Amino acid sequence: MDQEALWIAKSKEGDQKAFRSLYDLHLDPLFRFLRQFSADVSQVEEWVQRAFIKAYEHLEDFDGRSRFSSWLFKIGLNEMKTDRRRAKIVPFISLEHGEEPPGEFDPKEFEWDQTMRAWMQELDAAKRAVFILYEIEGYSHAEIADMLNIGESTSRTFLFRAKRCLKERWTQEVAK
């Protein structure tokens, strides 16, 4: 049994220190992922907090068929969607980094990163979410399908279309 599986088992038995270890392990990845959907850091922090609370309250529902992070991301996405439905706000990709670029600062690389983020913001929310989950976070289409409540083939289609849109924008940029 790996360390994460041990923490999950102990958390299900009520061990709060084990759940704290899960929290520490998944806090930053969940925050980074949800940060892509809002420029409001306090809103993202609220989604993250509510996701962890729900995960703790419903830990017995986690059956281990998917990765814990997939299950947690799905809860976080549902928190974001619930808030967006209430407020009738369309999710978007934040253009803010919130982190220092690694290594030496390269203005051309930074400009390209900002340009790509702006292009990603033009994608509809579903394609953007699939693109981020697959290309940036490294989830499989099966995991993405589970998180977003879509079919695996739909996940593949959304990824293909997102890449096609981004390639078209790149082609337009190069042609200038």
pLDDT by residue (tens digit) across 126-156?
888 888 888 877 888 998 888 888 899 999 9
Whether residue 109 sits in one domain with residue 86: no
Which of 91, 113, 147 is at the close of a domain? Answer: 91
Quickly count: other Cβ atoms within 10 Å of residue 173's Cβ.
11
Whether residue 154 sits in one domain with residue 125: yes
Whether residue 3 sits in one domain with residue 85: yes
Task: Name the domain count of the chain.
Answer: 2
The sign of the dihedral angle between the CA atoms of 78, 43, 83, 124 is negative
Residue-range definition of the domain harbouring residue 159: 104-176
* Cα angle: 107, vertex 110, 113; to 5 degrees: 150
Whether residue 11 sits in one domain with residue 80: yes
Q: Would residue 111 count as lying in a domain?
A: yes
Among 106, 102, 103, 131, which Cα is nearest to 117's? Answer: 131
* 47/73 Cα distance (integer angstroms): 11
Which of 62, 91, 120 is at the close of a domain? Answer: 91
Which of 64, 91, 118 is at the close of a domain? Answer: 91
Banded pLDDT at 97 (limits 50, 70, 90):
very low
The sign of the dihedral angle between the CA atoms of 133, 134, 135, 136 is positive
Q: Would residue 158 count as lying in a domain?
A: yes
Q: What is the pLDDT of residues 26-79, one digit of tens each?
A: 999 999 888 888 878 999 999 999 999 999 999 999 988 888 998 999 899 889
Whether residue 121 sits in one domain with residue 162: yes
- What is the reported pTM? 0.63
